[in-house]
Structures are given as C-alpha cells and as structure tokens.
Amino acid sequence: MTLLVIGLTGGIATGKSRAARLFRGFGVPVFDADAAVHALFAAGSPMVDAVDAAFPGTRDAAGAIDRRVLGGRVFDDPAALRRLESIVHPAVRAAERRFLQRLARYGFAMAVLDVPLLLETGAEGLVDCVVVVDVRLEMQTARAMARPGMTAAKLTAIRRQQLPGPEKRRRADFVLPAGYDRGASASGIAALLDRLDDWPRRAWPAAWLRQ
C-alpha cells in the first residue's frame, strides 16, 4: 500500500505536540519540524555557518545558533523572517523527504508531518490530508501566556505569522478539538485513523517528485 502522508498543524499552544505524541502512541511515525530545526541549529551542523553569515552574531560560544538571539533579529521583521526561511525551509523539506523515503522503503502505511506553518507555507499540496488541532481562543491565549518569556507583544507577533483559527479549520480535512481530554483526544485520533484507512493516497511520491 502506498504511504499516506498526514499533515498535522495548529496555532501556538493549541495542543499539537500532544496530538503528535498520541499519533506516535498509535504506532504512526511523526516527523517533528521544530525538532528538525533544532538539529539544524546545533553545533556542528553546516546550517550554522549559513545562518550566522546571514545574521552575524547569532552563533553562541558552543558553536550553535542561539535561537533566542536569532528570534530577536527576525521578531516582527517580515523581510528578515523571509530571509531566514529561505535558508532553513529547504533543509527541513529535504529532511522530510528522507523521513518519508525511509518509511516507504519499510512499508509503513501512514506518516505524520508535524509542521506548525503547514498551511501558511503552502505545503498542504505535499500531504494527503490536513489535520488541524484547535482549542478555544481564550484557552489558547492562557496556555501561550503561561510559557516562559512570553509577552502579549510576542504572542501578537506570532499570531500575525499564523492563519487565524477559523481559516485553519476551513482548510482542514479534519479538526481535532483539544483542551477537554479525559481520553477525548486519544479517542478522537483513534477514530480519525479508522477513517484514514481508505483515504486517497496521492502525495507520496508524486507531489514530492515535483519539488
């Protein structure tokens, strides 16, 4: 059977990371785009030279990219953010491709690409279905503001980079409500996986060959 590629996304503090863990718990491999970026910014990665050349002074004493310093450079600066994305996104896409190639080679039926800006970057064409994790705006705000270092201004800037919740839901194939739990999230993903058994598989490898 051809590999089914599931795109998992959601706004900040909506519970996407927990949904990814639940997918893994059901035996579905997950590619974590944020973790991939962390690896690219680690000491010894070739990406460090490219990022530090574009944003001098962002390399720390250990030879890694200091994400907090880099974040300050691109915070609320669309041109700087686009420059950073032009460096990082192709490397993340290449890592995603290698991930899917391995799974297809070993005969996996499904894979999840956990990508925060899946819809914002137009990457929905690379997945077979889009799953959006969603919570009430009030809960999302409270969760985000509880994070270390978060401010109202920073949250506003992050939200400007992300599609509003209603637009994400409109463009989703499936919406996973979060924030209720007592097993509801796990039950929702179990029901979703049942529905995906016969879902059309068109993204891999056809859409990826056009990249």
DSSP 91-142: HHHHHHHHHHHHHHHTT-SEEEEE-TTTTTTTGGGGSSEEEEEE--HHHHHH
Tell me what pLDDT residue 180 has. Answer: 66
pTM for the whole structure: 0.94
The burial of 1, by beta-carbon neighbours within 10 Å (0-12 exposed, 13-18 middle, 19 or more buried), is given as exposed
Where residue 117 sits, what CATH number does that domain have? 3.40.50.300
Could you tell me if 25 and 114 lie in one domain? yes
Could you tell me if 51 and 76 lie in one domain? yes
Could you tell me if 160 and 189 lie in one domain? yes
In a domain, 205, yes or no: no
In a domain, 126, yes or no: yes
Could you tell me if 152 and 184 lie in one domain? yes
Which residue matches tokens 């400007």? 160
What is the largest distance, in Å, between two alpha-carbon atoms of the chain?
Answer: 51
Domain count, the chain: 2
Tell me what pLDDT residue 181 has. Answer: 65
116 preceded by a cis bond (ω within 30 of 0): no
Tell me what pLDDT residue 186 has. Answer: 87
Write out the residue range of the structural domain in which residue 66 sits: 34-107
Per-residue pLDDT of the chain (211 residues; tens, 9 = 90+): 799 999 999 999 999 999 999 999 999 999 999 999 999 999 999 999 999 999 999 999 999 999 999 999 998 788 999 999 999 999 999 999 999 999 999 999 999 999 999 999 999 999 999 999 999 999 999 999 999 989 998 899 889 889 999 999 999 999 998 876 656 788 889 999 999 999 999 999 999 998 7
Could you tell me if 118 and 162 lie in one domain? yes
Tell me what pLDDT residue 59 has. Answer: 97
Could you tell me if 56 and 79 lie in one domain? yes
Tell me what pLDDT residue 210 has. Answer: 87
Could you tell me if 90 and 191 lie in one domain? no
Could you tell me if 10 and 100 lie in one domain? no
Task: Tell me which residue of 181, 129, 137 sits closest to 159, measured CA to CA.
Answer: 137
In a domain, 209, yes or no: no
Which residues contact residue 77 at a Cβ distance below 8 angstroms, ignoring those fewer than 6 apart? none
- Helices 16-25 & 184-196 angle (0-180, nearest 10): 60
Decide which of 107, 134, 169 is a domain's last residue: 107
Task: Tell me which residue of 144, 111, 128, 127 sits closest to 12, measured CA to CA.
Answer: 144
Tell me what pLDDT residue 182 has. Answer: 59
Could you tell me if 8 and 55 lie in one domain? no
In a domain, 211, yes or no: no
Token output for 121: 């970057």
Tell me what pLDDT residue 8 has. Answer: 98
Could you tell me if 148 and 186 lie in one domain? yes
Could you tell me if 100 and 122 lie in one domain? no
Tell me what pLDDT residue 90 has. Answer: 95
In a domain, 99, yes or no: yes
